[in-house]
Structure 1
Amino acid sequence: MRKNRFAALLLLISALLIIYLVKLETSYLSSSRTLANYDFSGFNNTVGSRKLLVPNIIHFIIFDKTDVDFVMFVCMLSAWLNHRPSHMMLHTNVKMEEKSKYLTVLRSVMGDGLVIQHLPQPSHVFGVKLAIVHHAADVARLQVLSKYGGIYLDWDVFVVKSLNSFRHYECAIGWPEGAYTGNQVIVAHKNARFLKLWLQSYRDYHPSEWYYNGGEVPTKQILVPRPGLVHRVYTEFGVEALDKELYQQNWQDYSKRYTIHLLASHKYLHDKAVLTEEEYNKCNCTFATLVNSVISQVADEQLSVLNNAALEDKLTKYLNNQIQSNSLLKKHLTPEIFADLKHQMTSSFHSTIFDVVKTGLSNPDSSVGVLVPDTESYHTFKSLLLPIIKDYHHLPEDFVGQPNHTWGNVNTIGKFGSEVISTRIRIARSIEGYPLNSKMTKQNLIDLEQTVRSVLEQNFAGTYHSLPEMTEEFRKDLVDRHFMFEDCDRFNKGGGGCQHWPTGRGIYISNDEKFLVWINEEDHLRIISMDKGGDLFAIYKRLVESMNILESHLKFAHDPYYGFLTFCPTNIGTTLRASVHLKFNNLKQSEVKNEAKQLGLQVRGTHGEHSDVKGGIMDISNARRLGLTEYEAINQVYTGVNKILDLDRQGK
C-alpha cells in the first residue's frame, strides 16, 4: 500500500515538473518573440529597460576593399576583446581576401564568431543616385541595423570597454553638446523608431553635402523636436574631434570613454602619426597606447600570423627565384619541405618555420640563412635544419651524431710563434629552460643575467659590467680592445634576435683580463679565454678549468645528436671556436683563405663573423664545431695555423 502511494507521488511530481518546463519554454519563446517585435511606443530612453534589448552583435561595413587594413584590424580586435559580442558581422560588397594576414589573425582570435556577410552597396536612395561611397555606407548602416539590430561601428572606431550598458535602450547614439549626432557609433534595436525616421529623411537627400543626411537632418529635424527617441550619449562614444588627444598627446582620460573615433580617414588630422603596423609606435601618443592595449591581449602564436603572412609572401618569391640568394637555406628549402613544416609549432615556445628562416629572407646575402628560436626547433624543423647543418659542417650522410664531449689531453697543445698577435678560445652555451635569442623576453634576459652573474661573482675573481650601465667611452674602449661585443648585427636582427637591447646584456672580466663571459649577446653565454701572443696551451688550460666550474653550477642545453645547442646552427656541437689574430709578412689574404680552407680553418675580420679584414690583421679559426671533439677542434687550429705560418716563413 505504501509502495503504491509512493509511486503515485513520484508520478505526480514528474507530471508537475513537465508542466513547469513546458511553461518555462513557452514563456521564454514568447519573451524572445516579444523582444524581437518590441513596440517602443512611449519607451523611456532616459531610464531604459532592465532587460538587454539590443542583440549583442557588432556590425562593420566596408565597401570596395578586399582586405582589412591595420587600423580596421585593431578596431575589430578592440570590439571583440573589450566588448565580447556574441558575433561580429563584417558587411562587404566584394569577396574578401581570406588569407590576408589581418583577416587571418582575426579568424584565429574570433573563430566562427566572425561572419563575413555580403551586402550590395546601395546605389540609390528613394530613386536618387547616391553621390559618394560614404553616403552609401551611411544608408547601409541604417538598413543593416533595421534588419538585425545590434551595435554599428565605423571601421575606425576603437572600443575601449563593454557597450552592454547601452543595450538596455531602444537606441543610443553619440550626440555631443552643441553638435550634430555622430553616426560612427549606433547601438539600436531593429525596431528603433529613430532608425525608421532617419532612413525616411533620405527622401530629402542632398548629394552635394557631406554630412547633411548623416548628421544635420537627424539632429535638427528629428532629435531636437523629439529627443526621447534616443538615449543621448554626450562624450562617452568619443565621436567628437579628438585628433590632438589621440595623436599629439598621451591622453590618460581615454579610459573614461566607451569608444573613440580614430579619425583615420582624415589624414590631415593625424599627419604627424603614421597609422601602420610598422610605424604606429613611433608617435609615442595615445593611438600607440590603444593599439598596444589590444595587441597585448592576443596570444603570441596568433600574433605571429602578422609577421608570418608577410614572410610567407616573401618566401614564395624566394622559392620562385624572385629573390636571389646563394645561402644554404636557398639550397635546401623546397616547396615540399615548406608545405610539410608550415603548420608545425614547438610546444615549448610556439616557434614556427618562419622564425627559423626569416633571417635568410631579410638577408639574402647570408651564407647560411637560418637561426633557431628554441632548442626544440632542432627536431621540429629537422627536415630543413639537418641538411643545412650537414652541409655547413661537411658531415657525411651517415653521420651518427656528435662525439662525446671531451677536452682531451691539454698538455699536448703547444705555443704558436711570435707572429701571432693574440689568441682566444670561446665557447657558446645556452642555459636549459630558456628559449634562444629571438624568443627571449625582457624578463628572461634579466633572470638569466642575474643567475649567471651570481655564479661568476661567487666563483671567479673579477667584475661584471652591465651594458645599460656602461658609459659610452668605457664600452667603446672594450670594443676597441676586442673584449666587448659590438651592437647587434643585421643577421641576428633579421632573425628576430637582440630584442630589448641592451637590457640583460653585459660582460664579466677577470682581474687579469684573460677570462671573459658575455651574457645575452647572440647566445646566452660566450665564455672566452684569451691572451696576447700565442700561448695556446695556457689559454686552453684556463678555459677547461673555467668550464668545469661553470658546468657544476649551470645546466647547459645539450642534445645527444647535435651536441651543445646554440642560436645559430653553425656553432652547435662543441660550440668551440679557437682563433688567432696575426698578420702575415708574405702571403696574400686570398692565399691564406685558400690554404685555411684546405685545413678546415676559416678567415675573417678581427671583429667577428661578417666583419671585414682591416689593416691586414686576420682572424683564423676552426670552421667546424660539429662532428669532432673539443680537443680535435683545438688541435686542428694548432697544427693548421702552424702550417700556414711555415708557408709564410718560406715565402720570406
Structure 2
Amino acid sequence: MVWKAGDNFDIAISTRVRIARNFKDTIFPNRAADTALENVCLEVCKAVINSNSYISNEFDYIYMGNLSDAEKEKLIEKHLISPNLTNRKSAAGALINKSEQISIMINEEDHIRIQCILPGLSLEDAYDMADKIDDLLEENITFAFDDKLGYLTACPTNLGTGVRMSVMLHLPAMALTNNITSVLRTAGRYGLTIRGIYGEGTESMGDLYQISNQNSLGMTEKEILLNVKAVTKGVIKRERELRKMLFENDNPAIKDKIMRSYGVLKYAEKIDIRESMQLLSVIRLGADMGIIKDLEIEKINMLIKNIHPALLADVIEIDEEKMNIDIKRAEYIKSVLNS
C-alpha cells in the first residue's frame, strides 16, 4: 500500500482500482487444469513484458511457487497480492512494477486482476492507470465477454465492468463517537460496502476502513467512480466535523487518551499488532489535530505500514521465525518515535 501524502491525506490513506478479466474459452482458475493456467501466465507476461509499450520494462514477474511463506506474506502486507493468490502452489504469479503502484495478479479468482494503488483520494488517476494496463492486455488477449452481462468473472458481483474501486480511510473520530454504523448504512444505500484493512472478509485495525462498490453490473466505470467518490467525500466531511466536535472546549479526556497512547508507544517493552495499530490510530489523530507537536503524520504512516510481521522482519533485517515479534515491534516503534 502507498503511505505517502496525497489528496485529503489526513483521512484518505490510499485509493485502489482493480479490474478483473478472464480469457475467452478458458475455464476459470478454480476449475482449470494447471496446463491451461500455465498458458495464462505465459500469455499475460508476453502481453506486458514483450509489448512495445514504454512500461514493458517496468514490470518484474514473480512466480508464487518460487516464494517462501515470508516473501508471500510481505507482498500481502504491502497489498500487492491477495491471500487467495498465495494459496496456489503452481500456475500463479504476479507482475509488479518497480514503483509498486501497479500489480497484475495472474490466476487468482480470475485469470487477471489488474490493481493500481495511489496515495490519498486519487480515483481518476488510479482508474486511468489501470485502464491503460487493461487496454495493453486486450491488444493481445481476447477476454471473456457477453453482450448482456459484460465482462465475465468467477464471482457474479464482478460481472459487467469488472471494476472495483475503493478508498482506504482513517476514521478515528467516527470510531470514538460510535458513528461507524451510520457510515455502513450510508454506504449500503448507495450500493457500496465497508471492508477491513485487507479488503473483503477482513476486520478493521487501527480505525482503517475501505469504502468500495459492491457490484459492477449495470453501471459504467464513470458512474462507479463518481458514486464512490461522492460517498467518500461525504464520509471525509463527516469525519472532519466529528474531529472538530471532539476537540471543542479543550476536551481533556480526549487529550489524555492521545497522550497516554503516545506514552505507551514510546515506552512499551512488548506490544502486539492490534494494540499498536489502535494506539497509532489515536496518535495520528492527535498529530493531525495539533495535540502532539513535532510528530509528522508521514512518520506515523511509516509505522502503521511497517509493524506487520513480514514487513517488520524485513525492515529490521531479522528472520521472522527467529524473533520475538512483539518485543521487536515495540523496539522498532520506540526507535522511530524517539528519533
TM-score normalised by length of structure 1: 0.34
Distance 1:559 1:487 in 2: 26
One-letter code of the match for 1:636? N
1:6-50 per-position Cα deviation (integer Å, ceiling 9, x unaligned): xxxxxxxxxxxxxxxxxxxxxxxxxxxxxxxxxxxxxxxxxxxxx
Deviation at 1:624, TM superposition (A): 2.1
The question of 1:532 aligning with 2:129 is answered no
Distance 2:212 2:121 in 1: 13
Distance 2:11 2:48 in 1: 33
Aligned equivalent of 1:453? 45
1:98-155 per-position Cα deviation (integer Å, ceiling 9, x unaligned): xxxxxxxxxxxxxxxxxxxxxxxxxxxxxxxxxxxxxxxxxxxxxxxxxxxxxxxxxx
Question: Aligned match of 1:480 in 66, 77, 83?
Answer: 77
1:392-444 per-position Cα deviation (integer Å, ceiling 9, x unaligned): xxxxxxxxxxxxxxxxxxxxxx9555311111100000111201133201111
The question of 1:650 aligning with 2:237 is answered no
One-letter code of the match for 1:428? A
One-letter code of the match for 1:466? Y
One-letter code of the match for 2:16? R
Aligned equivalent of 2:206? 615
1:172-231 per-position Cα deviation (integer Å, ceiling 9, x unaligned): xxxxxxxxxxxxxxxxxxxxxxxxxxxxxxxxxxxxxxxxxxxxxxxxxxxxxxxxxxxx
Structure whose CA Rg is larger: 1
The question of 1:563 aligning with 2:183 is answered no
Q: Which runs of 5+ in 1 are unaligned?
A: 1-413, 490-497
Deviation at 1:455, TM superposition (A): 1.2
The question of 1:541 aligning with 2:139 is answered no
One-letter code of the match for 2:186? E
Alignment of 1:397-408 (within 5 A): none
| Structure 2 SS opposite 1:586 | helix
1:65-115 per-position Cα deviation (integer Å, ceiling 9, x unaligned): xxxxxxxxxxxxxxxxxxxxxxxxxxxxxxxxxxxxxxxxxxxxxxxxxxx
Question: Aligned match of 2:171 in 584, 602, 625?
Answer: 584
Distance 1:551 1:627 in 2: 22
Aligned length: 229
Deviation at 1:600, TM superposition (A): 2.2
* Cα distance change, pair 528–567 in 1 and its aligned pair in 2 (3 A): same
Alignment of 1:55-134 (within 5 A): none
One-letter code of the match for 1:432? K
Distance 2:128 2:182 in 1: 32
| Structure 2 SS opposite 1:456 | helix
Deviation at 1:549, TM superposition (A): 1.3
Answer whether contact 1:416 1:638 (CA < 8 A) is retained: no
Distance 2:217 2:9 in 1: 28
One-letter code of the match for 1:569? P
| Structure 2 SS opposite 1:427 | strand
After superposition, the CA RMSD in angstroms is 1.9
The question of 1:424 aligning with 2:16 is answered yes
Alignment of 1:255-294 (within 5 A): none
One-letter code of the match for 1:567? A
Aligned equivalent of 2:283? none
Distance 2:70 2:30 in 1: 28
Distance 2:215 2:118 in 1: 23
1:216-269 per-position Cα deviation (integer Å, ceiling 9, x unaligned): xxxxxxxxxxxxxxxxxxxxxxxxxxxxxxxxxxxxxxxxxxxxxxxxxxxxxx
Distance 1:644 1:603 in 2: 12
Distance 1:417 1:592 in 2: 19
The question of 1:630 aligning with 2:221 is answered yes
**% same residue:** 28
Deviation at 1:539, TM superposition (A): 1.4
* Cα distance change, pair 438–585 in 1 and its aligned pair in 2 (3 A): closer
Answer whether contact 1:415 1:537 (CA < 8 A) is retained: no
Deviation at 1:506, TM superposition (A): 0.8
Question: Aligned match of 1:510 in 97, 101, 117?
Answer: 97
Answer whether contact 1:415 1:536 (CA < 8 A) is retained: no
Answer whether contact 1:596 1:644 (CA < 8 A) is retained: no
Answer whether contact 1:483 1:516 (CA < 8 A) is retained: yes
The question of 1:467 aligning with 2:58 is answered no
Answer whether contact 1:515 1:530 (CA < 8 A) is retained: yes
Q: Which has the higher contact order (CA 8 A, sep 6+)?
A: 2
* Cα distance change, pair 563–487 in 1 and its aligned pair in 2 (3 A): closer
Deviation at 1:612, TM superposition (A): 1.8
Deviation at 1:548, TM superposition (A): 1.6
Answer whether contact 2:85 2:105 (CA < 8 A) is retained: no
TM-score normalised by length of structure 2: 0.64
* Cα distance change, pair 488–447 in 1 and its aligned pair in 2 (3 A): closer
1:541-598 per-position Cα deviation (integer Å, ceiling 9, x unaligned): 2122222211111111010111101011011111100111111132233222112112
| Structure 1 SS opposite 2:127 | helix
| Structure 1 SS opposite 2:23 | coil
Q: Which runs of 5+ in 2 are unaligned?
A: 1-5, 244-339
| Structure 2 SS opposite 1:619 | strand
